[in-house]
Amino acid sequence: MKKLLMIIPLVILLCFTFSCQQQVKEGITEEKAQAFTDRILEMWNEANLTIVDEVYAPEIVRHDCGVPEAIVGLENVKNYLENLFNAFPDLNLTVDETIVAGNKMAQRWTMTGTNTGSMNDMPPTGRNVRFSGVSIGHFVNGKAVEIWDFYNVLDMMQQLGFTLVPPQPPEPPEEIK
Amino acid sequence: MKKLSTILPLALISCFMVGCQDKEAMAELEAIKARTEVEEQNKALANRLWEAMSKGDFETIKEVGAPEYVWYLPSNSTKPISREEAIEKAKRLHSSFPDINFSIEELIAVGDKVICRYIMRGTHQGEFQGIPATGNKVEISGIIISRIENGKIVEEREDWDMLGFMQQLGMELKPKEVKK
């Protein structure tokens, strides 16, 4: 009997929890997603690196298809952003679509900018770029822990004046021509 | 003991009722259930498409897409690709990469959308976009967002690492030569 007395409250508790469990929204709410997006936009569009600590967790891992290795940690993310902000001082990001699912968020975006600063060891080209991308972010406690970014790097580089060429054979001596 | 066995189910029912007594809450619960069901169906549809893409089952690829299907690649493209063009592209991909395989790294369903992060692997055994077979193994990822209506895919928006793909086929990125 004593055992039952313990079980009954437990069962009652359980069925209360289950009966309306789904009403309690887990993960990111639409409002939180909007707030996060606003901060991200400010970070990119105002070149505000102080927002990095606010929106990304210390263990952040960014997979960027334009960068061969994953960018890990807040400092590396800041360096990566700083490089971009230097290369494209008028960089502008717009978010075209946001889809929220639990602790995950997908976004489609468009970026524009003018390459008036040097990018890594590449001198400024003075050209405008405009390209789109799709990202997926995973969140823990409201901060992004892992992000995958895909965008058309080839299109961006072509806009900067680059072109794809087949592997170049060693140049033949002039006389043969 | 007998008493308890009658009380217990009663207690259970009543607390379920109290827990979700609110008609609005019940309706919401029903809506969530219905949505979850649709999302599961949409996921299954996306999985069917990926499987068909790996196998080269072009009949299934055609079947999962609506006749008015459009594919935006890159995701903000102003020239969407039709279902028939998409099938032609898939056929060309299979003749260049006969062992092509799509691995689904992440599949998220929300409402009428399914978001998929994939890795495509294959061996370059036939000519592709003017590049003769190199025998190179390629491994490339991307994200595609599909919208589903009445059990068919109507729209897809995708971005992937096109540059990485071309580089794995041996192409090089060079500044355009200034003509003298």
Positive or negative, the CA dihedral B6, B8, B12, B17 is: positive
Nearest CA of chain B to the CA of A157: how many Å?
8
User: Does residue A176 belong to the interface with chain B, where contact is any CB pair within 8 Å?
Assistant: no
Residue A168: predicted pLDDT: 73
CA distance B55 to B43: 18
pLDDT tens-digit series, residues A30-70: 899 999 999 999 999 999 999 999 999 999 999 999 898 99
- What ipTM does the predicted assembly reach? 0.83
Q: Give the residue, A116 or B177, on which the prediction is more confident.
A: A116
pTM: 0.83
Instruction: Give the DSSP per-residue string, chain B.
Output: -HHHHHHHHHHHHHHHHHHT--HHHHHHHHHHHHHHHHHHHHHHHHHHHHHHHHHT-HHHHHHHEEEEEEEESSTT-SSPEEHHHHHHHHHHHHHH-TT-EEEEEEEEEETTEEEEEEEEEEE--S-BTTBPP---EEEEEEEEEEEEETTEEEEEEEEE-HHHHHHHTT-EEEEPPPP-
The average pLDDT across A134-139 equals: 97
Q: Do B12 and A152 touch (CB under 8 A)?
A: no
Answer whether B11 sits within 8 Å of A106, measured CB to CB.
no
pLDDT tens, position by position, B56-104: 999 999 999 999 999 999 999 999 999 999 999 999 999 999 999 999 9
Residues of B in contact with A99 (CB under 8 A): 108, 110, 113, 115, 145
**In this structure, what token pair is assigned to residue A53?**
């600590």
Q: Are the Cβ atoms of B74 and A132 closer than 8 angstroms?
A: yes
